[in-house]
Amino acid sequence: MKKIVVGVDDSECAQRAVRWCADHAPALGAEVIVVHAVPIPVQVAMSPYYALPSPTEDQLEQMRDLVARDWCKPLADAGVPHRVIVIEGSPAADIVEIARREGADLVVAGRRGRGGFAELVLGSTSHQLTHHCDRPLVLVP
Protein backbone atom coordinates (compact mmCIF):
# COMPACT_ATOMS: atom_id res chain seq x y z
CA MET A 1 0.00 0.00 0.00
CA LYS A 2 1.26 3.47 -0.83
CA LYS A 3 1.80 5.95 2.00
CA ILE A 4 1.17 9.67 2.21
CA VAL A 5 2.53 11.68 5.13
CA VAL A 6 0.62 14.88 5.85
CA GLY A 7 1.79 17.48 8.36
CA VAL A 8 -0.96 19.17 10.35
CA ASP A 9 -1.57 21.89 12.87
CA ASP A 10 -4.75 23.80 13.65
CA SER A 11 -4.46 26.14 10.64
CA GLU A 12 -6.90 26.37 7.74
CA CYS A 13 -4.11 25.51 5.27
CA ALA A 14 -3.42 22.29 7.17
CA GLN A 15 -7.11 21.41 7.03
CA ARG A 16 -7.05 21.95 3.26
CA ALA A 17 -4.03 19.59 3.09
CA VAL A 18 -6.01 16.92 4.96
CA ARG A 19 -8.97 17.41 2.61
CA TRP A 20 -6.58 17.11 -0.36
CA CYS A 21 -5.44 13.75 1.05
CA ALA A 22 -9.06 12.67 1.59
CA ASP A 23 -9.78 13.49 -2.07
CA HIS A 24 -6.67 11.87 -3.59
CA ALA A 25 -5.62 8.98 -1.33
CA PRO A 26 -8.41 6.62 -2.50
CA ALA A 27 -7.35 6.92 -6.14
CA LEU A 28 -3.75 6.22 -5.12
CA GLY A 29 -4.73 3.33 -2.85
CA ALA A 30 -2.80 5.08 -0.09
CA GLU A 31 -2.78 5.09 3.67
CA VAL A 32 -2.39 8.58 5.18
CA ILE A 33 -0.03 9.12 8.10
CA VAL A 34 -1.03 12.32 9.87
CA VAL A 35 1.86 14.00 11.70
CA HIS A 36 1.53 16.76 14.27
CA ALA A 37 4.78 17.97 15.82
CA VAL A 38 4.40 19.80 19.11
CA PRO A 39 7.23 22.35 19.07
CA ILE A 40 9.92 21.88 21.70
CA PRO A 41 9.41 24.54 24.37
CA VAL A 42 11.77 27.48 24.12
CA GLN A 43 13.21 29.15 27.14
CA VAL A 44 11.18 32.16 28.18
CA ALA A 45 13.05 35.33 27.23
CA MET A 46 16.02 33.11 26.31
CA SER A 47 16.86 32.78 30.00
CA PRO A 48 18.44 29.55 31.25
CA TYR A 49 16.29 29.83 34.39
CA TYR A 50 12.79 29.99 32.90
CA ALA A 51 12.08 27.09 30.58
CA LEU A 52 8.56 26.03 29.72
CA PRO A 53 7.89 22.39 30.55
CA SER A 54 7.65 19.75 27.83
CA PRO A 55 4.19 18.24 27.36
CA THR A 56 3.46 15.17 29.45
CA GLU A 57 2.61 11.82 27.87
CA ASP A 58 -1.00 12.41 28.95
CA GLN A 59 -1.04 15.79 27.16
CA LEU A 60 0.44 14.21 24.01
CA GLU A 61 -2.25 11.50 24.16
CA GLN A 62 -4.96 14.16 24.49
CA MET A 63 -3.49 15.92 21.46
CA ARG A 64 -3.49 12.60 19.53
CA ASP A 65 -7.18 12.21 20.37
CA LEU A 66 -7.94 15.76 19.19
CA VAL A 67 -6.03 15.29 15.94
CA ALA A 68 -7.70 11.92 15.26
CA ARG A 69 -11.21 13.10 16.16
CA ASP A 70 -11.28 16.63 14.74
CA TRP A 71 -8.43 17.26 12.31
CA CYS A 72 -8.73 13.84 10.59
CA LYS A 73 -12.51 13.98 10.14
CA PRO A 74 -12.29 14.43 6.35
CA LEU A 75 -10.18 11.25 6.13
CA ALA A 76 -12.58 9.28 8.32
CA ASP A 77 -15.61 10.58 6.40
CA ALA A 78 -13.99 9.49 3.11
CA GLY A 79 -13.10 6.06 4.51
CA VAL A 80 -9.38 6.66 3.98
CA PRO A 81 -7.13 4.44 6.11
CA HIS A 82 -5.07 6.69 8.32
CA ARG A 83 -3.16 6.87 11.57
CA VAL A 84 -1.92 9.72 13.72
CA ILE A 85 1.55 10.42 15.06
CA VAL A 86 1.99 13.23 17.59
CA ILE A 87 5.57 13.94 18.52
CA GLU A 88 7.45 16.68 20.31
CA GLY A 89 9.99 18.27 18.02
CA SER A 90 10.58 20.43 14.97
CA PRO A 91 7.67 20.12 12.51
CA ALA A 92 9.64 20.06 9.25
CA ALA A 93 12.41 17.81 10.55
CA ASP A 94 9.91 15.40 12.09
CA ILE A 95 7.80 15.22 8.93
CA VAL A 96 10.91 14.45 6.85
CA GLU A 97 12.12 11.83 9.34
CA ILE A 98 8.74 10.11 9.61
CA ALA A 99 8.36 10.11 5.81
CA ARG A 100 11.75 8.37 5.52
CA ARG A 101 11.05 5.91 8.33
CA GLU A 102 7.62 5.00 6.93
CA GLY A 103 8.83 4.77 3.33
CA ALA A 104 6.30 7.41 2.28
CA ASP A 105 5.62 7.89 -1.41
CA LEU A 106 4.42 11.47 -0.97
CA VAL A 107 4.49 14.30 1.60
CA VAL A 108 1.65 16.82 1.81
CA ALA A 109 1.51 20.04 3.81
CA GLY A 110 -0.39 23.29 3.85
CA ARG A 111 1.37 26.25 2.32
CA ARG A 112 1.14 28.19 5.57
CA GLY A 113 0.66 27.09 9.16
CA ARG A 114 0.12 28.94 12.37
CA GLY A 115 3.36 30.86 11.91
CA GLY A 116 4.28 33.32 14.63
CA PHE A 117 7.67 34.05 16.14
CA ALA A 118 9.10 30.61 15.32
CA GLU A 119 8.37 31.16 11.63
CA LEU A 120 10.25 34.46 11.69
CA VAL A 121 13.29 32.85 13.29
CA LEU A 122 13.28 29.39 11.72
CA GLY A 123 11.27 29.78 8.52
CA SER A 124 7.96 28.17 7.72
CA THR A 125 7.51 24.42 7.79
CA SER A 126 6.51 24.37 4.12
CA HIS A 127 9.60 26.40 3.19
CA GLN A 128 11.86 24.02 5.13
CA LEU A 129 10.17 21.01 3.50
CA THR A 130 10.95 22.38 0.02
CA HIS A 131 14.64 22.38 0.98
CA HIS A 132 14.93 19.16 2.97
CA CYS A 133 12.24 16.70 1.88
CA ASP A 134 13.64 13.92 -0.28
CA ARG A 135 10.18 12.71 -1.40
CA PRO A 136 7.65 14.20 -3.80
CA LEU A 137 6.02 17.13 -2.01
CA VAL A 138 2.59 18.70 -2.47
CA LEU A 139 2.00 22.11 -0.86
CA VAL A 140 -1.70 22.87 -0.69
CA PRO A 141 -2.59 26.59 -0.82
pLDDT digits (tens, 9 = 90+) for 70-97: 999 999 999 999 999 999 988 999 999 9
Are the beta carbons of 80 and 114 closer than 8 angstroms?
Answer: no
Q: Is 29 helix (H, G, I), strand (E, B) or coil?
A: coil
| Reported pTM | 0.86
Domain housing 64: 2-31+51-90
- What share of the chain in percent tops pLDDT 90? 67
- Would you say residue 73 lies in a domain? yes
Report the number of distinct structural domains present in the chain: 1
Residues found in the chain: 141
Label residue 27 by pLDDT band (50, 70, 90): very high
- Would you say residue 108 lies in a domain? no
Are the beta carbons of 5 and 107 closer than 8 angstroms?
Answer: yes
CA distance 105 to 112: 22
